[in-house]
């Protein structure tokens, strides 16, 4: 059958359209996927900023599934993986760097490896950094960190100095060099770091201001150097009132001028007809033990004009030892204080006057009257802590621990208080109660196991807890590893204890003192005496719990 011209034309046009569709559809689909991936990645970044981590995680994974070759999409996923699944982050960053070849991606890859705290992996990554970015300040800084983690302090200082001297060095990298240089045993190396800090202090920007502030805390500073540094700080273009007050304090402490001569300079920094400024001046004068000057400046009628001013004024009276006068003042009308605060003040006044029995009675009645008022009880705890009334503070915390809305924080404060007093039995008992209240809290379980091990109790059960927590954790946290290492050590397996900690890529100078003491004990028990001493450099024994001090002492016998 012969086709009409119209039918032929329709067939040709239809075929052409079909051909175009068949050819164009894959490209259109690919374009759609790529754009969809970009949009999802942008959504993920916004969700991450809003701390919607779960949704950000899902959006980033979906974006990556659509277009894994898009570097921005991959970076978005990698940044979230750094938080969600850090064990998987290095491989992802490696792939991104192979695609981009950009410095930022190599540094992100290095950081992801460093977070996993494995010395062997970190050493390999450091070699890659040295090969690909030999002179960049950020790379040199990271290599310095790696050297220090591997116990090569002097090499780390040299690399840090090179990083600070690089043209692209940030202020943070330069401050890091100054800080690291002060850990050297070589006086010339330490002085070189301080020379660099003095050069930084010449700058007129915020970096120069920060450097000028740091100079005041520099070790082995002579009297003349201290006065000179204080003057430079006060005269810095960005200096704040606190900096100028610091200069006044230094001039007084060095005997350059008496406080009487400097008092006018200090007062000139405040607007005396502004009550808020008077509050700040009063606090500063009280810190300088010049309360009488504030009392001469502010009378009772002015003081009661606002609560914060009156509280500072009362502190000045207290610093001046005017307790009998305060006993009368606290009974006057129109005081800008609530009745509960006044009662607590009465308790303190009676305590200062030596009437312990009356003070305890007033305090006890106030706490009973507070009942379940979290605000009042919290204020009472803060007040007792400020006065070092530890028994009263603990009693208030025990009451707060009975209230659901304040319970968790109260338990944490109880443990902090017991740590500060070194009462291990009380701390362990509080942790046991917490473990019952929060049976699924891994931090509480780990802290209880660690405390039991410090006290030499429940060693095997605590070791089992440490094993379980490590197995259940997505990544090995240092707290869990410390507990397991301590379990091995207390069970006489010091070699296994060392295996837990020695491979870790950690700068131990940044670890809390108690853990450093335990690691130092483990090192000493394995014959690494020099490293044991190095780990404890700069640790104040008073910052250790009694069992931590004892464990370290016994290991070094």
Q: Is residue 270 part of a domain?
A: no
Name beta bridge partners: 504: 118
Lowest-confidence segment of 25-29, 190-194, 287-291, 444-448 by average pLDDT: 25-29
> How far, in Å, are 174, 230, 234, 536, 538 from residue 221 at the CA level?
20, 12, 18, 24, 19
Q: Is residue 192 part of a domain?
A: yes
pLDDT at residue 22, rounded to an integer: 47
Give the largest CA-CA distance in the chain: 124
pLDDT at 19 over 90: no
Lowest-confidence segment of 222-236, 254-268, 329-343, 404-418 by average pLDDT: 254-268
Residue 412 and residue 512 share a domain: no
Buried b (16+ CB within 10 A) or exposed e, 230-259: bebbbebeebeeebbbbbbbbbbeeebeeb
- Report the CATH number that the domain containing residue 403 is assigned in CATH: 1.25.40
Q: pLDDT tens across 433-484, in order?
A: 999 999 999 999 999 999 999 999 999 999 999 999 988 887 778 999 999 9
Q: pLDDT tens across 253-292, in order?
A: 888 777 777 888 899 999 999 999 999 999 999 999 999 9
Q: Would you state the structure tokens that stand for residue 429, as one six-digit string?
A: 């008992």
* C-alpha torsion 313→384→412→512, nearest 10: 70
Instruction: Give the residue from 168, 200, 232 where a domain finishes.
Output: 200
Lowest-confidence segment of 7-11, 84-88, 199-203, 520-524 by average pLDDT: 7-11
pLDDT at 1 over 50: no
10 vs 189 pLDDT, higher one: 189
Q: Would you state the structure tokens that stand for residue 31, as one six-digit string?
A: 């374009």
Residue 460 and residue 414 share a domain: no
* Sign for the pseudo-dihedral over CA of 365, 369, 375, 378: positive
Instruction: Give the pLDDT band (50/70/90) at residue 25.
Output: low
CA–CA separation, 326 vs 319, rounded Å? 11
pLDDT at 5 over 80: no
Output DSSP code: residue 101: -
CA–CA separation, 275 vs 203, rounded Å? 35
CA–CA separation, 466 vs 470, rounded Å? 6
Q: Which of 370, 323, 378, 377 is nearest to 346 (CA)?
A: 323
CA–CA separation, 332 vs 106, rounded Å? 69
CA–CA separation, 89 vs 57, rounded Å? 13
Residue 557 and residue 454 share a domain: yes
Q: Is residue 427 part of a domain?
A: no
Residue 417 and residue 378 share a domain: yes
CA–CA separation, 358 vs 60, rounded Å? 65
> How far, in Å, are 4, 115, 241, 466 from residue 482 at the CA level?
89, 17, 44, 9
Residue 476 and residue 401 share a domain: no
Instruction: Tell me the pLDDT of the chain averaged across its residues.
Output: 91
Q: pLDDT tens across 130-187, in order?
A: 999 999 999 999 999 999 999 899 999 999 999 999 999 999 999 999 999 999 989 9
192 vs 23 pLDDT, higher one: 192
pLDDT at residue 11, rounded to an integer: 47
Q: Hunting for tokens 């890659």 — which residue is that?
A: 128
Instruction: Give the pLDDT band (50/70/90) at residue 341.
Output: very high
CA–CA separation, 73 vs 412, rounded Å? 41
Q: Is residue 264 part of a domain?
A: no
221 vs 522 pLDDT, higher one: 522
Segment 518-522 long-range contacts (CB within 8 Å, at least 24 positions apart):
518/482, 518/485, 518/486, 518/489, 518/548, 518/551, 518/552, 519/482, 519/485, 520/552, 520/555, 521/489, 521/551, 521/552, 521/554, 521/555, 521/556, 522/485, 522/489, 522/494, 522/497, 522/498, 522/555
Q: Which of 270, 197, 216, 206 is nearest to 238 (CA)?
A: 206
Residue partners of 511: CB distance under 8 A and separation at least 6: 478, 519
Instruction: Give the residue from 200, 221, 237 where a domain finishes.
Output: 200
pLDDT at residue 21, rounded to an integer: 47
pLDDT at residue 36, rounded to an integer: 82
Q: Would you state the structure tokens that stand for residue 50, as one six-digit string?
A: 């809003």
CA–CA separation, 470 vs 479, rounded Å? 10
Instruction: Give the residue from 200, 216, 231 where a domain finishes.
Output: 200
Residue 554 and residue 472 share a domain: yes
Range of the domain at 181: 145-200
Output DSSP code: residue 543: G
pLDDT at residue 477, rounded to an integer: 86
Name beta bridge partners: 118: 504
Q: How many domains does the chain have?
A: 3
Q: Is residue 554 part of a domain?
A: yes
CA–CA separation, 155 vs 130, rounded Å? 14
Segment 494-503 long-range contacts (CB within 8 Å, at least 24 positions apart):
494/522, 494/525, 494/526, 495/526, 497/522, 497/525, 498/522, 498/523, 498/525, 498/526, 502/119, 503/118, 503/119, 503/120
Q: Is residue 380 part of a domain?
A: yes
Residue 462 and residue 391 share a domain: no
In this structure, the number of other CB atoms found within 10 A of the CB of residue 480 comes to: 26
Q: Which of 432, 456, 454 is nearest to 444 (CA)?
A: 432
Q: Would you state the structure tokens that stand for residue 342, as one six-digit string?
A: 């006044």
Residue 406 and residue 452 share a domain: no
Residue 414 and residue 347 share a domain: yes
Buried b (16+ CB within 10 A) or exposed e, 62-96: bbbebbeebbbbbbbbbbbbbebebeebbebbbbb
CA–CA separation, 234 vs 548, rounded Å? 43
Residue 493 and residue 548 share a domain: yes
Name beta bridge partners: 25: none
Residue 467 and residue 553 share a domain: yes
* Sign for the pseudo-dihedral over CA of 132, 134, 135, 139: positive
Q: Is residue 539 part of a domain?
A: yes
Q: Is residue 117 part of a domain?
A: no
Segment 154-157 long-range contacts (CB within 8 Å, at least 24 positions apart):
154/184, 154/186, 154/189, 156/180, 157/181, 157/183, 157/184, 157/189
CA–CA separation, 83 vs 320, rounded Å? 53
Residue 484 in contact with residue 467, Cβ under 8 Å? yes
């Amino acid at each position: 059958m012969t086709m009409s011209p119209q039918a032929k034309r329709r067939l040709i046009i239809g075929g052409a359209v079909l051909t175009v569709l068949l050819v164009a559809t894959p490209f259109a689909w690919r374009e759609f996927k790529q754009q969809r991936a970009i949009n999802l990645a942008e959504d993920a970044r916004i969700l991450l900023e809003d701390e919607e981590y779960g949704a950000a995680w899902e959006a980033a994974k979906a974006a990556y599934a659509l277009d894994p070759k898009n570097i921005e999409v991959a970076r978005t996923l990698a940044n979230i993986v750094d938080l969600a699944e850090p064990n998987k982050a290095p491989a992802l960053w490696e792939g991104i760097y192979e695609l981009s070849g950009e410095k930022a991606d190599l540094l992100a890859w290095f950081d992801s490896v460093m977070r996993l705290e494995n010395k062997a992996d970190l050493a390999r990554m450091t070699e890659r950094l040295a090969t690909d970015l030999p002179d960049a300040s950020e790379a040199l800084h990271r290599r310095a960190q790696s050297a220090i983690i591997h116990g090569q302090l002097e090499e780390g200082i040299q690399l840090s100095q090179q990083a600070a001297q690089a043209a692209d060095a940030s202020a943070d990298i330069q401050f890091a060099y100054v800080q690291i240089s002060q850990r050297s045993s070589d006086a010339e190396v330490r002085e070189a770091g301080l020379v660099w800090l003095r050069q930084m202090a010449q700058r007129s920007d915020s970096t120069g201001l920060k450097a000028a502030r740091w100079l005041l805390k520099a070790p082995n500073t002579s009297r003349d150097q201290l006065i000179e540094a204080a003057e430079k700080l006060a005269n810095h273009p960005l200096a704040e009132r606190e900096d100028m007050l610091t200069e006044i304090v230094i001039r007084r402490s060095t005997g350059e001028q008496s406080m009487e001569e400097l008092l006018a300079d200090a007062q000139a920094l405040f607007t005396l007809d502004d009550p808020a400024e008077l509050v700040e001046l009063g606090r500063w004068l009280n810190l300088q033990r010049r309360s009488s000057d504030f009392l001469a400046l502010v009378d009772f009628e002015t003081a009661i004009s606002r609560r914060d001013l009156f509280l500072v004024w009362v502190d000045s009276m207290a610093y001046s030892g005017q307790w009998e006068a305060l006993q009368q003042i606290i009974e006057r009308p129109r005081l800008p204080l609530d009745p509960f605060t006044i009662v607590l003040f009465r308790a303190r006044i009676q305590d200062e006057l030596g009437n312990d029995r009356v003070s305890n009675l007033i305090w006890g009645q106030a706490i009973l009257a507070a009942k379940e008022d979290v605000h009042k009880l919290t204020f009472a705890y803060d007040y007792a802590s400020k006065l070092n009334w530890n028994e009263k503070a603990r009693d208030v915390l025990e009451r707060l621990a009975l209230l659901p809305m304040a319970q968790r924080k109260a338990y944490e404060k109880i443990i902090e208080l017991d740590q500060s007093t070194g009462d291990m039995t009380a701390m362990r008992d509080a942790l046991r109660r917490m473990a019952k209240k929060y049976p699924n809290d891994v931090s509480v379980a780990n802290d209880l196991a660690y405390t039991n091990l410090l006290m030499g109790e429940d060693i095997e059960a605590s070791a089992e807890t440490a094993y379980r927590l490590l197995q259940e954790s997505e990544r090995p946290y240092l707290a869990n590893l410390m507990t397991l290492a301590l379990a091995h050590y207390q069970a006489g397996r010091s070699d296994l204890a060392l295996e837990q900690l020695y491979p870790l890529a950690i700068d131990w100078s940044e670890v809390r003192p108690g853990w450093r003491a335990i690691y130092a004990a483990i090192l000493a028990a394995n014959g690494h005496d020099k490293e044991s001493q190095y780990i404890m450099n700069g640790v104040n024994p008073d910052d250790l719990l009694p069992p931590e001090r004892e464990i370290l002492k016994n290991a070094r016998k």
